[in-house]
Amino acid sequence: MKMIDKLSVFLPAYNEEKMLAETTQKVNKVLGKIAGDYEIIIINDGSKDKTGQIADKLASENKKIKVIHHHPNRGYGAAVKSGIYAARYPWIVLFDTDGQFDFTEITKFFKKQKETNADIVWGYVLERKVPFVRKVNTFLWRFLVSLVFGLKVKWIDCGFRLFRKEVADKIPKLESERGAFISSEFLIKAKKSGFKITEVIVHHYPDIAGGSTGADLKVIIKSFVDLFKLWRKLR
C-alpha cells in the first residue's frame, strides 16, 4: 500500500548541472515506491550552465517530469513560487537539488503528518554541513523573524518540506523573489491563516556542487527589505 495517493515534488535549480540528474532520478525512484501518482517539477531559474538542457532531457525521458524555465535568473523565491503554483496534487514537497538532503527521508514527513494532522511539515537538522558563518547568519535571521513575527521554527530555510496544496491556495499570494525571505513569508502567512505547522528532523550533507547563493550580500539585503515590507503590511 502506497503512503500517499497523489504528490507533487518540485526542485528549484540554479546552476545545478552536477547534481540535477542524480537528484531527480533518486526522487523519481522513491516516488515510484511511495506514491500512487506523482509529478516532478524542475524549476530552472535562469541557469548559466547546462542545468536547463539536462532538465529538458530528463523530462523527455519521463512523462512524470516537467520543466519550468526562468529567463533570466529571478532568484530562489521566484523558483519556489513557480513550483508551488504549478503543483497540481493535494500534497506538495519542496526538495532542494544540491544533494544536501536524502529524499528517502520523505517517509518521516508523512509519518509526522499522520501523527499530528499538520498542514505543514518542515524539516530541520541537528548539524548543518555549512561553514560556521552560515550557521551564525541562520541563527540571527531566525531570531529576527521570531522577534518580529512570533514565528518559532528551528530552521526557517530548510530545503526539505511537505505541505498541503490548500495552504498555498488559501494564504495571501507570495511576493518575495530575489531574496531569501520566501520561506519566512510562506510560514508567517500560513501561521496567520491558521494552518498547523510541525517539524521533523532530517540529515544534512555537504554541498559538493557548491551552488548555494544564500550568503550573497544582495540576497541578504533583499531579504531584509522583504521582511520590512511584510511587517508593514501586517501591522
**pLDDT tens digits along 198-208:** 999 999 988 77
Q: What pLDDT score was predicted for residue 150?
A: 84
**pLDDT tens digits along 137-154:** 777 777 788 878 888 899
| Torsion sign across C-alpha atoms 124, 126, 130, 134 | positive
72 preceded by a cis bond (ω within 30 of 0): yes
The set of cell numbers assigned to 183 is: 520561506
Nearest residue to 19 via CA among 47, 53, 54, 46: 54
Amino acid at 101: F
CATH superfamily entry for domain 4-234: Spore Coat Polysaccharide Biosynthesis Protein SpsA; Chain A (3.90.550.10)
Q: What pLDDT score was predicted for residue 8?
A: 98
Tell me if residue 60 falls in helix, strand or coil: helix
Question: What are the extents of the domains in the chain?
Answer: 4-234
Give the pLDDT mean for 174-199. Answer: 92
Give the pLDDT mean for 106-134. Answer: 88
Pairing assessment for the beta strands 197-201 and 120-124 based on DSSP bridges: parallel
- Quote the CA–CA distance of 118 and 67 in Å, as a whole number: 29
Give the pLDDT mean for 29-44. Answer: 98
Q: What pLDDT score was predicted for residue 190?
A: 97
Residue 218 binned pLDDT confidence (cut-offs 50, 70, 90):
confident
Amino acid at 225: V
- The size of the chain, in residues, is 235
- Quote the CA–CA distance of 212 and 234 in Å, as a whole number: 30
Decide if pLDDT at 212 tops 70.
no
Q: What pLDDT score was predicted for residue 148?
A: 81
**pLDDT tens digits along 56-71:** 999 999 999 999 999 9
- Quote the CA–CA distance of 155 and 18 in Å, as a whole number: 26
Computed over every residue of the chain, the mean pLDDT equals: 90
| Torsion sign across C-alpha atoms 221, 201, 44, 53 | positive
Nearest residue to 27 via CA among 96, 120, 112, 78: 96
Decide if pLDDT at 217 tops 70.
no
Give the pLDDT mean for 78-90. Answer: 97
- Quote the CA–CA distance of 198 and 73 in Å, as a whole number: 32
Nearest residue to 38 via CA among 80, 1, 4, 86: 4
> What pTM value is reported for the model?
0.90
